[in-house]
Amino acid sequence: MKEILVTGGLGYIGSHTVVELMMKNYNVSIIDNLSNSEIFILENIEKITGRNPIFFNIDLTDYNKTNSCFTKKNYDGVIHFAAFKSVSESVEYPEKYYSNNLNSLLNILRCMKENKVDNIVFSSSCTVYGQPDDLPVSEKFPFKEAESPYARTKQISENIIKDFVNSTSFLSGISLRYFNPVGAHHSGLIGELPIGIPDNLVPYITQTAAGIRKELQVFGDDYDTHDGTAIRDYIHVEDLAEAHIAALERMCENKMDSEYEYYNIGTGVGNSVLDVVKSFERVNKLKLNYSVIERRSGDIEKIFSDCRISNKKLGWATKKGLDEMMNSAWKWQNNISSFLKG
């Protein structure tokens, strides 16, 4: 049974990937410093899977503590999620993002090199493409000027991984460039749980519907889109979790075409902010209180993916649509509303 180390494994995408790994009979160890997650997620992972992952409460910017985790097991691979992820916060506090996101990755790679761990799947982002000239976005597109410090840390991180792979005979890496993960596990036991005011659209929608927020603020309705609001490629988090397993298996089964690869992970379909709002209202039979305000710094107008390469090379494709995303997100919100109010 393969041993996998998941950093940020109690976070939103990390916890869903941990569940998927465990359901496929991987042994999982988690590193998470709980800066943007909650310990009860660990109990809910056990409720879903019937097993408990090993948990280390470690800050990855501490090299010695990080390396101590690598000495506990002979890991077959690492899935690295742990990073700060707010676009708007990164614009305000760039030093926080460069320090945390880059140093944590460097420590992971140093530990992998020292302990002869072969494979890393990296949580990247479609923001590495900047505002693309053409749509849909293909992996063949080059990086453009980053629209935020968060996006720039992802660009730099991918280059760091590539350099480590090129300098290390045994190391392989795959970067997964996510588009916009939303929704929650079908059990309603894990989902997106932002600390404080949500920075992402869907948790703000669900908290507004639950009465926790007064109204949803839509950032701009003057974009060049069908309804004036920004367009994104929204992907169900369970589909996204499965992409990590596909990437991990591609590495472990020696199917890679080169020692470093990167893939778009999305649906290939663009939906606007108001498309998402209308889907949420429709499937959950609710009316949402929202208003339009000025554009948000760091946001791009529209982006959605070309998934043909990832579909072919990873043998993976999305299964769930926008309505399923909105239904599962509301189910999760109903389960944790009392916690958020507290």
Q: Which residues are catalytic?
A: 150
Q: What is the DSSP letter of 15?
A: H
The secondary structure element, H or E, covering residue 4 is strand 3-7
Long-range contacts of 192-201 (CB under 8 A, 24+ apart): 192/12, 192/237, 192/329, 192/332, 193/12, 193/37, 193/38, 193/41, 193/336, 193/340, 194/36, 195/35, 195/36, 199/86, 199/87, 199/88, 199/89, 201/273, 201/276
What is the rounded end-to-end Cα distance, in angstroms, of the chain? Answer: 40
For 58-91, letters b (16+ CB in 10 Å) and e give bbbbeeebbeebbeeeebbbbbbbbbbbbbebbb
CB-based contacts of 22: which residues, under 8 Å, 6+ apart? 28, 45, 49, 51, 53
SS3 6: strand
